[in-house]
Copies of this chain bind each other. A is one copy, B any other.
Amino acid sequence: MKALETILPKFDSVFSIDCVIFGFDEGELKVLLIERNVEPFKDWWALPGYLVEQEESLDNAAERILYELTGLKGIYMDQFYTFGDVNRHPQGRVITVGYYAMIRLSGNKDLKPAPITNYARRAVWTPLADLPKLAFDHDKIFKRAFDKIRNKISYQPIAFELLPEKFTLTQLQHLYEVILNKKLDKRNFRKKMLNYDILKELDEKQKGVSYRAAKLYKFDKRKYARLFQKELSFGK
């Protein structure tokens, strides 16, 4: 058996994109992974990622690569960091631009992933609790994206994109808990959240629950957004 280096082509300097797509699903945070069907790291789990083509912009490449490897389309992604360690890829110098997105999975049937190319064997929404060791430096890329969203939930109104329109306070608390990756005290959480005056209590209760169904809430989106416009921004 030949050494890996002699089988695989060597790259001089190429760019790639890796996508970290977080999905919030009924109180659980998941990330979209592919099972690789090619060397290097054949059979490993990895973030959806591939090389950027000569004639495409980074944003277009991110969209194409996510589509080819997972079948998903129309997900708005943002850059979060560019990884350029010298030895991060066994085939040579590959600098990769990390893109991320956060989406709501529950009730969203269009988000069932299936690879278009056979470069990936399958694509799976994987709960963070079950995260395997990933190919290349993808553990590091994932961690950096997770830090990003944890940070973001403290200064941007992202929660309402991840919850259904009507939600219970328990669902809201779970969202914060999984993103901050820690247990929160129920009474404190509720008190704080209600004090912000960003929630509208509805006349409806949770459905499909026969015993002690919880009240449903909606965000007052305007107030929620305003909460994040810090006074220090001086009227921005």
Among B58, B79, B176, B233, contact of A234 (Cβ-Cβ < 8 Å): B176
Residue total for A at the interface (Cβ-Cβ under 8 A) = 39
Interface centre among A54, A81, A82, A153 (most CB of B within 10 A): A82
Whether the Cβ atoms of A236 and B154 lie closer than 8 Å is yes
Q: Which residues of A (148-162) have their CB < 8 Å from a CB of B?
A: 153-155
Number of copies: 2
Report A27-63 CB contacts with B as 1/0, cut-off 8 Å. 0000000000000000000000000101111110100
Tell me if A189 counts as interface (CB < 8 A to partner B): yes
Whether the Cβ atoms of B15 and A231 lie closer than 8 Å is no
Find the B residue at minimum CB distance from A56.
Answer: B86
Report A75-97 CB contacts with B as 1/0, cut-off 8 Å. 00001011111100000010101
Tell me if A143 counts as interface (CB < 8 A to partner B): no
* CA A161 to CA B233, docked complex, whole Å: 18
Interface centre among A54, A184, A232 (most CB of B within 10 A): A232
Among B15, B85, B231, contact of A57 (Cβ-Cβ < 8 Å): B85
Residues of B close to A236: CB separation below 8 A: 154, 180
Whether the Cβ atoms of B97 and A230 lie closer than 8 Å is no
Tell me if A12 counts as interface (CB < 8 A to partner B): yes
* CA A231 to CA B229, docked complex, whole Å: 13
List 24 A–B pairs whose Cβ atoms lie within 8 Å, in order of A's numbering. A12-B12, A13-B13, A13-B14, A13-B15, A13-B54, A15-B95, A52-B95, A54-B86, A55-B86, A56-B86, A58-B82, A58-B83, A61-B84, A84-B97, A95-B97, A153-B233, A154-B229, A154-B233, A154-B236, A155-B232, A176-B234, A180-B236, A184-B234, A196-B232
Beyond A57-B86, A79-B82, A153-B232: 15 further Cβ-contacts under 8 Å?
A12-B54, A13-B14, A13-B54, A15-B84, A52-B95, A82-B82, A84-B97, A154-B230, A154-B232, A155-B232, A180-B233, A180-B234, A180-B236, A192-B234, A227-B232
